[in-house]
Amino acid sequence: MKKWKLLSMLLVICMVFSLAACGDSAAPAAEGGEGSSDEPIVIGVISPNTGALAAYGNGIVTGVDLAVEEINAAGGILGRPVEVIKTDDQSDPTECLNAFNSLVSQGVGLIIGSATSGCTSAITDAANEEEVCLLSPTATADSITTEDDYIFRACYADSFQGAIAAAYAKQAGYEKVGVVYCAADVYSKGLFDSFSSACAEYGVEVVASESTASLDVQDYTNQFTSMVTAGVDFVYAPFYYDVIGPYVVPQARAAGYTGVIMGADGYDTTPDYVVEGADLTAFNDVYWTNHYDPSDTSEKVSSFVSAYEAKYGSIPSAFGATGYDCVYMYKAAIEAAGTDESSAVRDALADTSAVYECVTGTFSLDESGTPVKGAAIISFVSDGSAVTSKLVDVVTELP
Amino acid sequence: MSTFFQTLIVGLRLGSIYALIALGYTMVYGIIRLINFAHGDFIMVGGYTMIFTIPLALRMGLPAWTAVLAGVVVCVLVGVGTELIAYRPVRKTGTAMTALITAIAMSLFLENLAQAIPAIGPNPKVSSQIFASGGISIGSVTMEYTTIITILISAVIMVILYEFTQKTRLGRAMRCVSEDKAAATLMGINVNHTILLTFAVGSGLAAVAALMYMAQYPKVYTTMGSLLGLKAFVSAVLGGIGIIPGAVLGGIVIGLVESFTTSYISSSMADTFVFLILIIVLVLKPAGIMGKNVGEKV
């Protein structure tokens, strides 16, 4: 009996050691394959897939997926397939940093994200510190990109977007305008700043400006009552779709404001967030600036829109378009660098002479990493039962 | 002058919602001395229930507001479930503080649970029109029917609740439990049943509040209960927590302060003033506007 016991114990010890040995030998094997030709190129995506701005995340993720599918079908980048790791920031800056850290800990050196300026500004310092490329599809705040860093974007900056709106007010003959914005939000405040400074430049007077304490406010009636009192017929209201549809526009009309309401790319997807059964003619005379116009007939746009429609059954939002563009910008940069190593890709993106032919325009990046390109001005049109978008103008240069 | 009336109406509109929610807070606090932080999330539960049942009601040819019945049923189930699963076991073993922390935990749990349910998800949802638009015009401004209905409902519920707690056997049992649980048991009152009933009434009220909220602010999202609940809680404390007419008064005051600050002081400082008023009132009158000083407070 004793012999048996001893033998079995020995056996157990042997097994434990052999398991440990397995563990040891497995680890280097996993790391060993890096850099080989069929190892996938990994791109991380940070977007608000859940939370109040989930429509943005959905747009970006679908756009990225479509681009990656096309690239992989055509043989990948430098002959290597592309793999995407998606993370969710819930449009919360803290969650955004968590998502970023999780991508970095997985060894990802190329990241697309995030959608909003508030979230993206939470990770720009970390990206520079970790020397990880960050390419944002739609973070428009001026402060996001600076010279000599790892941060780039596929969209114009707010100083341009706000100025386009001011130029439009001037061109349409409004001499006195008002602004309703959120003082506590980077995006809304940034657009307010650029709009008002552009107004000063064009000789348009901002006679009334009202703000809200947070983006969670439900009632905008008082703000628009002051617009009526100030006698303006043009109000710049840079908010997001989740309040524009159910709150801002209907309440502004109920407060007796009948003039133009103008906004920015945050108005995208508003028609999906309007109150069914309410008087939707309120949405007439609402204008906004966007990254692209899906009804554009150019070959690049129409082939993107039809491919997207075939895959997802809907018209891509600007977030889908810029997300799609981000992947192709990385493709061009990786091919120029000849490697997917992040500092080399960064140098390729920082080359201001490189030209990117994208859905949202053909452009090169300026010293800060922001595209030099135009904006589409779009208006909402409603017959009372549904809201649709209509292209008004495409502006490529400021007056 | 029209700005003044407009501001007044916006204040009443916000205030009537806060009042309706504050009634639920005050009801539960008055009986079991528990600040039910999950009450704001019961509003969310009611809101989502109606988002799904309003189309059904419309398809059956019923007016949209009848969906509130489904909301009441679901909210009562959730409220009673919360009491049975979370609050009652904690109350048996823990202190008032553990119960309070459990209420906060319950609030976060409900918010995240809602996000995890695929049909709800994290995206905000916009409801369809609930009451006919239009209203009574005073000069150039209009007081919407929805606002008037909300104020009337708050007033009616306030009166019913007050009479219920004062005059009926069950109401008297509730007040007994609130004063002394042990003595109430000796008098033959089933304490657990009474508390359960309190939760049922309080949660049912949350569904009504959700209906009126959606009628004026037609957007529902999973975290909507947190700020809304906080403002309503402040209203209840301001009016004197545990005192039913105080909740309505507090709600209206908070709504008016918020609206007038926006119009006349600074539109970005509305919340600052709401909470400033709370501090001032609590310094001057710790038991709230209508409260009587009884020594024991939160």
pLDDT at A132: 94
| pLDDT reading at A21 higher than 60 | no
Q: Are B111 and B226 in contact (CB under 8 A)?
A: yes
What is the SS3 assignment for A206?
Answer: strand
Q: Verify whether the Cβ–Cβ distance B270 to A217 is below 8 Å.
A: yes
| pLDDT reading at A29 higher than 70 | no
Cα angle A127, A128, A133; round to 5: 60
| pLDDT reading at A74 higher than 60 | yes
pLDDT at A13: 56
Q: Verify whether the Cβ–Cβ distance B133 to A279 is below 8 Å.
A: yes
Residues A240, A264: Cα–Cα separation, whole Å: 9
Q: A136 has which bridge partners?
A: A153
Give A-chain residues touching B212 at CB under 8 angstroms.
none
- The whole-number average pLDDT for the span A286-290 is 93
Task: Please give the domain boundaries of chain B with CATH numbers for all domains.
Answer: 2-284 (1.10.3470)
Query: What letter represents residue B236's amino acid?
Result: A
**CB-based contact, B218 to chain A, within 8 Å:** yes
Nearest-neighbour CA in chain A from B41: distance (Å): 16
Residues B279, B265: Cα–Cα separation, whole Å: 19
Nearest-neighbour CA in chain B from A257: distance (Å): 12
Q: Beta-carbon neighbour count of residue A207 at 10 Å?
A: 14
Residues A49, A53: Cα–Cα separation, whole Å: 8
> In the CATH scheme, what is the code of domain A159-290+376-395?
3.40.50.2300
- Please state the domain extents for chain A: 41-156+297-368, 159-290+376-395
pLDDT in tens, A258-272: 999 999 988 988 988
Burial of B1 (0-12, 13-18, 19+ CB in 10 A): exposed
In the structure, what pLDDT confidence band is assigned to residue A26 with cuts at 50, 70 and 90?
very low
Q: A152: closest CA among A136, A140, A141?
A: A136
Token pair, residue A248, equals 């801002």
pLDDT at B293: 61
pLDDT at B294: 57
pLDDT at B211: 92
The DSSP code sequence of chain B is -HHHHHHHHHHHHHHHHHHHHHHHHHHHHHHH----TTHHHHHHHHHHHHHHHHHHHHHTT--GGGGHHHHHHHHHHHHHHHIIIIIHHHHHHS-HHHHHHHHHHHHHHHHHHHHHSTTT-SS-EEPPP-S---EEEETTEEEEHHHHHHHHHHHHHHHHHHHHHHHSHHHHHHHHHHH-HHHHHHTT--HHHHHHHHHHHHHHHHHHHHHHHHHHS-EE-TTHHHHHHHHHHHHHHHH-TT-HHHHHHHHHHHHHHHHHIIIII-GGGHHHHHHHHHHHHHHH-TT-TT----S---
The reply to whether A41-156+297-368 and A159-290+376-395 are identical in fold is: yes
pLDDT at A28: 38
pLDDT in tens, B165-208: 889 998 889 888 888 888 888 988 898 899 999 899 999 999 99
pLDDT at B146: 83
In the structure, what pLDDT confidence band is assigned to residue B298 with cuts at 50, 70 and 90?
very low
In the structure, what pLDDT confidence band is assigned to residue A397 with cuts at 50, 70 and 90?
confident
Scanning chain A, the segments in alpha helix (DSSP H) are 2-32, 54-73, 93-105, 117-120, 124-130, 158-171, 186-202, 221-230, 241-243, 249-254, 299-312, 318-337, 342-349
CB burial string A70-107: b at 16+ within 10 A, e below: bbeeeebbeebebebbbbbbbbbbebbbbbbeebbeee
Q: Which of A222, A240, A272 to mutate to test the interface with B (most CBs of B within 10 A)?
A: A222
Nearest-neighbour CA in chain B from A175: distance (Å): 24
pLDDT at A23: 42
pLDDT in tens, B24-74: 888 888 887 888 899 999 999 999 999 999 999 989 989 888 999 999 999
pLDDT at B50: 94
pLDDT at A263: 94
Sequence-ordered list of residues with C-beta below 8 angstroms from that of A311, at least 6 positions apart, any chain: A62, A66, A69
| pLDDT reading at B140 higher than 80 | no
Q: Verify whether the Cβ–Cβ distance A52 to B221 is below 8 Å.
A: yes
Work out the mean pLDDT of chain B and round it to a whole number. 87
Percentage of chain B beyond pLDDT 90 is: 35
Q: Are B40 and B225 in contact (CB under 8 A)?
A: yes
Q: Verify whether the Cβ–Cβ distance A226 to B123 is below 8 Å.
A: no
Residues B43, B4: Cα–Cα separation, whole Å: 31
pLDDT at A10: 55
Q: Beta-carbon neighbour count of residue A136 at 10 Å?
A: 33
pLDDT at A27: 38
pLDDT at B28: 86
Token pair, residue A130, equals 């970790």
Enter the pTM of the model: 0.80
β-strands A151-153, A110-113 pairing: unpaired
| pLDDT reading at B144 higher than 50 | yes
| pLDDT reading at A215 higher than 60 | yes
- Least CB–CB distance from A278: residue in B129, B140, B269: B129
φ/ψ (deg, to 5) at A377? -100, 125
The residue written with tokens 């007010």 in the block is: A169
| pLDDT reading at A90 higher than 70 | yes
Nearest-neighbour CA in chain B from A209: distance (Å): 10
- Least CB–CB distance from B123: residue in A54, A219, A229: A54
A5-14, A308-317, B106-115, B267-276: which has the minimum mean pLDDT? A5-14
Burial of B34 (0-12, 13-18, 19+ CB in 10 A): buried
What is the SS3 assignment for A399?
Answer: coil
- The whole-number average pLDDT for the span A155-164 is 89
Q: What's the gap between Cα A382 and its chain centre?
A: 27
pLDDT in tens, A96-118: 999 999 999 999 999 998 999 88
| pLDDT reading at A298 higher than 90 | no
Q: Which helix (H) or strand (E) holds A395?
A: strand A387-395
* A394 or B210: which leads in pLDDT: B210
Token pair, residue A325, equals 């563009």
In the structure, what pLDDT confidence band is assigned to residue A19 with cuts at 50, 70 and 90?
very low
In the structure, what pLDDT confidence band is assigned to residue A25 with cuts at 50, 70 and 90?
very low
Q: Which of A221, A227, A239 to mutate to test the interface with B (most CBs of B within 10 A)?
A: A221
- The whole-number average pLDDT for the span B102-125 is 88
Q: A246: closest CA among A264, A222, A219, A224?
A: A219
pLDDT at A55: 85
Q: Are A311 and A66 in contact (CB under 8 A)?
A: yes
pLDDT in tens, A33-64: 344 567 899 999 999 988 778 888 999 999 99
Residues A235, A246: Cα–Cα separation, whole Å: 18
pLDDT at B77: 96
Q: Which of A61, A95, A220, A225 to mutate to test the interface with B (most CBs of B within 10 A)?
A: A225
The CATH homologous superfamily to which domain A41-156+297-368 belongs is Response regulator (3.40.50.2300)
